[in-house]
Amino acid sequence: MNKKTSIGNDIKIAKENLEKGNLVAIPTETVYGLAANAFDIHAVAKIFEAKNRPTFDPLIVHTDTIDKIKNWTIDFPIWAEELGKHFWAGALTLLLPRKSIIPDLVTSGLPHVAVRIPNHKLTLELLQHLDFPLAAPSANPFGYISPTTANHVFEQLEGKVSYILDGGSCKIGVESTIVGEENGKLTVFRKGGIAIEELEKVVGKLIVKEHSNSNPNQKKVASSGMLLSHYAPKIKMRLGNIEEILNEYQSNQELESNEIGILSFYEKYNQVPVQNQFVLSKKQDYSEAAQNLFSYMRELDKLNIKIILAELLPEKELGRAINDRLRRAAY
């Protein structure tokens, strides 16, 4: 898979490539996705190859209407109707029982398919012109930081994707929230771009399932994005109280100040050069923090440093999803 990769905003070119079985990176409000015809197992196989993604990790299927989703799912329960009505198009993925038209490769052989209607004008227009849905995980090498711009995709997957549909920077910046049923109870399988508090206003109390084991011998996970080690920079990340960790390093003389990078919620620290520090949101805004998270992790990963220090946000609203990504980046 060694093709020339081009970037543009031409839906016709994107459509032609997808119809030929090629890979196309698509913008969404969450992150950029690496898309292929979900009905074509040969095209879907290219996603796993390009990302070096294990086939036990299922994919999310994207389309533009609930009616289309109902064509390839066995059941569309009342809770799905309610959540779809309130949050689609948007950063919500639902796990629903699938019909056989959805290939096993897409779902890792599981009986449910993850479905979503993304809230991005360019991608919705593309989906309207396709006769098939798109299987699309994040457009990055498996386990690495998710892309939130077309250039992020190009930097990582040049030559592995035919076309990158450039829709600008992603507005939300973390992946979708995944909801399904387990043992008869509505369950959040992945924290994401829609806060759990907002979902509970519509369907009541939800069970929150923490991520799965990252054992490479594990055969299946319940949904996309459930592995413990994920969204990780190449440079080691340490989570905790930044001030305390800096004092520890200073006392032990373990690291020079210019060897440390910082990813903080809203503060800067005098002990570390300002160019090595990235603040997610000076005004402590969770949406702004989520939008900046992956982009700032990438910038830190480019620095000549030995460690990234990061702190958790308050465990509420989008802070939950941000903390989930930070924990897995540091795992």
For 206, the token pair is 């939800």
Residue 148 marked as a ligand binder: no
Query: In sequence order, what are the beta bridge partners of 219?
Result: none
Bin 302: left if φ > 0, else alpha if -120 < ψ < 50, else beta: alpha
For 24, the token pair is 């196309």
State the DSSP H helix or E strand holding residue 179, giving kind and residue range, or none if neither. Answer: strand 177-182
3-state secondary structure of 139: coil
Residue 224 marked as a ligand binder: no
Residue 129 marked as a ligand binder: no
Residue 266 marked as a ligand binder: no
Residue 146 marked as a ligand binder: yes
Residue 138 marked as a ligand binder: yes
- Distant-in-sequence, close-in-space partners of 207: CB < 8 Å, separation ≥ 6: 182, 185, 186, 187, 188
Give DSSP secondary structure letters for 179-230: EEEETTEEEEEE--SS-HHHHHHHH---EEPPPB---TT----SSTT-BSS-
Residue 62 marked as a ligand binder: yes
Give DSSP secondary structure letters for 34-77: EEEETT-HHHHHHHHHHHT--TTS--EEE-S-HHHHHHTBS---
Q: Closest Cα to residue 265, out of 323, 313, 210? A: 313
Residue 116 marked as a ligand binder: yes
Residue 298 marked as a ligand binder: no
- The owner of tokens 């990078």 is 261
Annotated binding site for L-threonine: 30, 62, 116, 136, 176
Annotated binding site: 30, 53, 62, 116, 136, 138, 146, 176, 190, 231
Annotated binding site for ATP: 53, 138, 146, 190, 231
